[in-house]
Structures are given as structure tokens and as C-alpha cells.
Amino acid sequence: MTKQEKINSFDANGIGQLNDGMYGLPFTLDECETVLIPVPWEVTVSYGGGTAQAPEAILEASYQVDLYDPVVKDAWKKGIGMDDINEEIKTKSHELRQQAEKYIDALANGASADNEDMQKISAHIKQQGLWLNEQVKNRVLHFLNKNKSVGLIGGDHSTPLGMMQALAEKYSNFAILQIDAHADLRNAYEGFEFSHASIMYNALKLKQVEKLVQVGIRDYCEEEIDLINNSKGRVKTFFDRDIKYAQFNGDSWDRICNRIINELPQHIYLSFDIDGLDPKLCPNTGTPVAGGFETEQVLFLLEKIVKSGKKIIAFDLNEVGVSDNGNDWDANVAARILYRIANLAAFSQGK
């Protein structure tokens, strides 16, 4: 059956679980214009875990998402599919997480990072972080070379570095738009270079990343503030506190969004940590922080970006937690916002 025949026979108002594709869509991965790459990795999470289970949980939750998109007409017909989960990544994440916890506990109990055993653990985890980056980079390039719109589902927020490296091979310059509670600009965190708390510090090592625009940041350290202030405009941060205070004083989210958009160049990579939302929407995320956005605030910003003619060249969604009791609320929220983001990104690319 051709893709058009599948479209003609598919009931977009029906039950998604009749098909096992992402969002219950009937298409093969080759037929989908958007491909989501799952990266079940959470080696360096420093508070709550469960993000490695997020890709599977979001896939399961996606079957309950209605397919009408208020902005992109007939969006479902373009097709959104999830790549196969890499079991080697999943297995390594579990094994390395145990080593990382041992290392963190030892540090907390007074062990020196210069200890030989500690150095071995740190070096091994770094080596495996490099391995993950290469795995992700190659898979992203595979789909970019097929002219797909590509998204990534973590895992923790360290997972998209390989994706950014892939984009650096495809684009001479682009900006990162980071929706997040945390600045993620630490040189290293708890001894790990490829930490979820260091993703943007590592991203700035790529010369093709001309600018980092952060939105909703509300948890950060002095080291990160110093980096922002000394970046000569390469890092522009819209702190959650400043956004809220501006609104308390009569400013509108629309005008604030215009200021955010004015900081962005034509090509934009969206990096979305789910903890950028109000934690009532993502209570099982690894490091929830009071404050944050409603889903439609973020989507309003993204819609304005797309309507401005700028292009979302790729995107990620990370830090979606899965609770020990199997509560799928976070995945439910993530699946819905992911659908809208994927549609907007593909639309901005002319697909």
C-alpha cells in the first residue's frame, strides 16, 4: 500500500492503537517526514531518575493524542515516526548509571576525585559519553541526509550533544533556543564532563553555534552567571524571574516573545528540557524547579518563531521522567507537546 493509499484509508478521528506507529499513524519510517530518535540514556542524572524510560513511555502515551493541529493543516499526513530504540545505549546507560552513583556517593562522603579508582570511573564514563555522542551524531546525519525533519527524545539533557555536532556539519551557523529551568553551563558537574548540567557549555564549543538564547531559566550558579555575562552577547538569557516581573508590571508575553525572536538568527535548533514547564506538568522530571511555563506559552513562542519565517532545523525533548509506580502523566504531557513541536518544525522547513 502506498503512503497516499494509507492516508485515504486512515481514520484520523479513530483509535490510535489500531496501528503501532508513533501517534498510531500507519506509515513506515521512510514514509514519515519527521523522524524522532530515541536516546534512553541517563548516566549523570543528579537527582531523580527514570528519563531513560521516556522514549518508550512517550510512544505509549502518543496513542492517546488526537491528531488535529490548530496551526498546521493535515499535519498527521506528513507522518511522524520513532526510530528503533538502541538496546546497546539502554544497557550501557543502566550499567554506567550504577558506576556514576558510586562515584557521586564517594564524593559526597569525602573521597578525592584524584583517587585512582575515582579517576578510572570518571575516565570510563567520559569515554562512553564520547561513544554516545558519536552514535547519536551518525544516526542524526543518516536521517538528515534523507531530508527528514529530525527530533531527539532523551533521556537526560546530555543526550543531544551528538545531534548538535551533526547539525554543525550541515550548517555553517545556527542558534540554540533552550527552554529550561537550568542554565546547563557548568564546565563539569559532579566530575562528569558530559553531564546533563553541562550540555550548553559543551554546545558552545561548536563554532557553528553562533548564539545561545535561553528562556525560562530559574536555577543557576555563580559560575554560570559569569559565563553569561562574559559571553559578549553570545549567550542571551531570559530568566524566569525577569519574565514574570515584566508581566507583573504590565508587559505582555507577546511582546516578550518578540524580544526573544529578535535575538534569534534564521536557523534555530530547539532544545527543550521538560523542566522548563511548571513542575505540576512534569512532577517526575529529574530536577524539578518551582516556576516555569504552561504548555501553550511555549507553543505560542514557537508559533511566532515559525510565523516570522525563521526555521527550526531540528529539536530535542529531554528529561521526561517516568515514576516508579508507572504514572504516565509526564509522558502524556510530553507526547502532546512533542506532536505540536514536530509539526511546527516540519512546517518551518517547508515540509
Write the pLDDT tens digit of every residue in 15-29. Answer: 666 678 999 999 999
Query: Model-level pTM?
Result: 0.95
d(CA 160, CA 149): 15
Nearest CA among 190, 194, 192 for reference residue 157: 194
Residues 123-144: tens digit of each pLDDT: 898 899 999 999 999 999 999 9
Name which residue leads in pLDDT, 112 or 318: 318
Number of domains within the chain: 1
CATH number, domain of 27, equals: 3.40.800.10
Give me the percent of the chain exceeding a pLDDT of 70.
Answer: 95
Other beta carbons less than 10 A from residue 118's beta carbon: 17
Three-state SS string over 132-187 comes to HHHHHHHHHHHHHCCCCEEEEEECCCCCCHHHHHHHHHHCCCEEEEEECCECCCCC
CA-closest candidate to residue 215, choices 185, 192, 243 = 243
- Predicted confidence at residue 148, as pLDDT, reads 98
Cα–Cα nearest to 14, from 67, 74, 57? 67
Task: Tell me what pLDDT residue 192 has.
Answer: 66
pLDDT tens, position by position, 156-195: 999 999 999 999 999 999 999 999 999 999 986 656 676 7
Look up the domain containing 125 and give its range.
Answer: 3-348
Name which residue leads in pLDDT, 305 or 19.
305
> Quick one: which of 192, 137, 195, 135 has its CA closest to 168?
137
